[in-house]
Amino acid sequence: MFDSRLSFLSKELLEDFSNYNFVNMSSLLLIVKNDNIRNLFIKYYNILKDVYGENKELLFRSVENFYDYYDLLKDVENQELTNKEQSNFVDVIVSLNNTCNIKKKSDLNDYDITLLKKLIKDLSSTQNEEIYRNLICNYLYNKGYDERGNNSWLEVITIKQLLDLFDADVLEDLKINGNSVFNENEIEFFRMIKLLLGNNNRELLLDYIDKIISKRASRNIVPIVIALNKVKKYRVELINSQIISIDEVEELYLTNPVDVKKTNRKGVDIYTISNQDFKVLCSENDDGIHYEYVDASALTKNSYAYRKLVNNGSIRLTTINNSTVVKMNKDSITRKEMYPNFILVVGELTDELVNIAAENELKIVIYSEG
């Protein structure tokens, strides 16, 4: 029977949440048992939901961290906040971890200074550039640069993974039903963090840190969280908009026969592309789980290439050997939703590869640097 005290949540979400973590479900029931605590939790959860969207992972973190915010929520209840206090209050809540231990309304006015002091203290304790990056990303974007910087095991995508896969131009080009998905501010933000964090320019990073401290830069994480979540939400569409298919290779051959050559061997069409790079979604062994979305020039092994990434709701990004790869759930193997579109050869074309292509009725594309 549905408990009316949980009516602020959908039945579908509660069922999903209960299956996801039964222990945390017990904690949620304890929260809603008391009407006053329940009302505070609803206000707290609604702020988070407006920024992060509603899903079982957010509900888990909301329940898990609620009592870190309980004193603050209770203290500000029925009080009028100034614009600065309101902005800092939302920032504290949306951070999902009350690292500065803000407990009272009186703490809110100087919260941005308190947070900056914490950043300075943390930065002074290390000389490691990767730790610098994680500290900066957590301070400005409330997200780890890499997996070591994430503040929860539920943070399954890092800034580094997004930067590894996408450029601002890719965001700018993405359209759905003729409409741009990302606005100008989101594109320029991504361009900025790509410049700052997408290379190993230590001097640029240190200069940026110095400006943050000297100008007492405060953060505005709500639009940033929304922008990063948007990149995460459309990661499949972004990948599919860039990868090359065998039909597009044929078009390149017809329009640019100088750089694209076509031959046939044992009944297998073979294309050789020279002097131009292209994006591919590929798998070395067609295991049905791990896929790379990379430039052809970055590959060191022959691979199966795919027409598109199937969005089945079980796709995430992960890091293997310092490279970002796309990972699907193991049940995708039995469903067999991904089929190779062609075989990409980055080395010598052998009879064995031609035979594999013939047996699977696939064409071959050879990448050549010229």
Domain match, 284 and 226 both: no
Q: How far apart are CA 47 and CA 180, in angstroms?
A: 27
Whole-prediction pTM value? 0.83
Side chain identity, residue 232: K
Q: How far apart are CA 53 and CA 233, in angstroms?
A: 11
The SS3 of residue 264 is strand
Tokens linked to 128: 């490691």
Residue 330 pLDDT level (bands cut at 50, 70, 90): low
195-231 pLDDT, tens digit per residue, is 888 777 778 888 888 887 887 777 778 888 889 889 9
DSSP string for residues in 279-322? EEEEESS--SSEEEEEEGGG--S-EEEES-----S-EEEEEETT
End-to-end CA, the chain: 68
Domain match, 66 and 105 both: yes
Boundary residue ending a domain (69, 89, 109): 109
Domain match, 33 and 98 both: yes
User: Residue 343 burial by CB count (10 A; 0-12/13-18/19+): exposed, middle or buried?
Assistant: buried
Domain containing 183 equals 111-241
Residue 22 pLDDT level (bands cut at 50, 70, 90): low
Q: Which of 143, 224, 231 is nearest to 182 (CA)?
A: 231
Instruction: Note the residue count of the chain.
Output: 370
Domain count, the chain: 3
Contacts of 55 (CB under 8 A, 6+ apart): 13
**104 pLDDT exceeds 60?**
yes
Whether residue 310 contacts residue 292, with contact meaning beta carbons closer than 8 Å, is answered with no
Boundary residue ending a domain (241, 258, 284): 241
The SS3 of residue 273 is strand
Domain match, 83 and 137 both: no
Domain match, 271 and 186 both: no
**134 pLDDT exceeds 70?**
yes
243-266 pLDDT, tens digit per residue, is 999 999 999 999 998 899 999 999
Q: Kindly state the helix (H) or strand (E) to which residue 236 belongs, with its residue range.
A: helix 235-240
Partners of 243 in beta bridges: 279
Domain match, 136 and 60 both: no
42-93 pLDDT, tens digit per residue, is 999 999 999 888 888 889 989 999 999 999 999 999 899 999 999 999 999 9
Domain match, 97 and 119 both: no
User: Residue 210 burial by CB count (10 A; 0-12/13-18/19+): exposed, middle or buried?
Assistant: exposed
Side chain identity, residue 248: E
Provide the pLDDT for residue 334.
Answer: 52
**15 pLDDT exceeds 60?**
yes
Provide the pLDDT for residue 361.
Answer: 95
Number of Cβ within 10 Å of residue 107's Cβ equals 18
Which stretches within 125-201 are classed as H helix? Answer: 129-141, 159-165, 168-173, 184-197
Whether residue 109 contacts residue 88, with contact meaning beta carbons closer than 8 Å, is answered with yes
Tokens linked to 345: 């050869």
Boundary residue ending a domain (109, 131, 146): 109
Partners of 324 in beta bridges: 319
The SS3 of residue 225 is helix
**366 pLDDT exceeds 60?**
yes
Domain match, 145 and 34 both: no
DSSP string for residues in 144-163? -SSGGG-SSTT----HHHHH
Domain match, 144 and 250 both: no
Whether residue 293 contacts residue 239, with contact meaning beta carbons closer than 8 Å, is answered with yes
Provide the pLDDT for residue 236.
Answer: 92
Domain match, 78 and 133 both: no
Domain match, 99 and 186 both: no
Domain match, 298 and 184 both: no
Provide the pLDDT for residue 153.
Answer: 47
148-179 pLDDT, tens digit per residue, is 777 654 556 788 889 989 999 999 999 999 99
Q: How far apart are CA 211 and CA 4, in angstroms?
A: 51
